[in-house]
A = this chain, B = another copy of it.
Amino acid sequence: MTAAARLTPLAADPDRLFPADPGTRAVARGLFDLVERRPILSVHGHVDPAMLVEDRPFADPATLFVTPDHYVLRLLQATGTPLERLLGAGVPPRAAWTGFCDGWRHFAGTASGYWLAGELYHLFGLEADPSPAHFDELSDQLARPEFRPRALFARFGLEVLATTDDPLDPLSPHRTLAAAGLRVIPTFRPDRYVAASTPGWADAVDRLIGEAGAGHTGYAGYLYALESRRAHFIDHGAVSADHGVATPRTLRLDRADAATLFDELRGGDLSRAADFEAHMLYVMAGLSVRDGLVMTVHPGIYRNHHQPTWAAFGPDTGHDIPVRTDFTAGLQPLLSDFGTAPGFHLVLFTTDETTYSRELAPLAGCYPSVYLGAPWWFLDAPDAIRRFREAVTETAGFAKSSGFVDDTRGFCSIPVRHDTARRVEAGVLARLVVERRLTEERAAEIIVDLIDGAPRRVFKL
Q: State whether A78 touches B18 (Cβ < 8 A).
A: no
Per-residue contact bits, chain A 4-22, to B (CB 8 Å; 1 contact, 0 not): 0110001001011111111
> Does A40 sit at the interface, judged by CB under 8 A?
no
Known: A6-B439, A367-B306. A79 touches B400 (CB 8 A): yes
A394, B366: Cβ atoms closer than 8 Å = no
Residues of B within 8 A of A75 (CB): 365, 396-397
Tell me how far the C-beta of A300 lies from the nearest C-beta in chain B, rounded to whole angstroms.
8
A382 adjacent to chain B (CB < 8 Å): yes
A211 contacts partner chain B, Cβ-Cβ < 8 Å: no
Question: A263: shortest Cβ distance to chain B, in Å?
Answer: 30
Count of chain A residues near B, Cβ 8 A? 96
A1 to B30, CA, bound (A): 13
- Copies of this chain present in the complex amount to 3
- Alpha-carbon distance between A361 and B6 when the two chains are bound, in angstroms: 30
27 CB contacts below 8 A, A to B, read A6-B439, A10-B438, A17-B436, A20-B21, A20-B23, A20-B434, A74-B365, A78-B364, A78-B370, A78-B399, A79-B399, A108-B397, A108-B398, A108-B446, A109-B394, A110-B365, A110-B394, A305-B335, A306-B336, A306-B339, A306-B366, A321-B366, A323-B358, A353-B354, A353-B357, A378-B395, A381-B394
Question: Footprint of B on A, CB under 8 Å?
Answer: 1, 5-6, 10, 13, 15-24, 27, 74-75, 77-80, 82, 105-111, 113-114, 302, 305-309, 318-319, 321-324, 326, 328-329, 332, 335-336, 339-340, 351-354, 357-359, 361-368, 370, 378-379, 381-384, 390-391, 393-400, 431-440, 442, 446
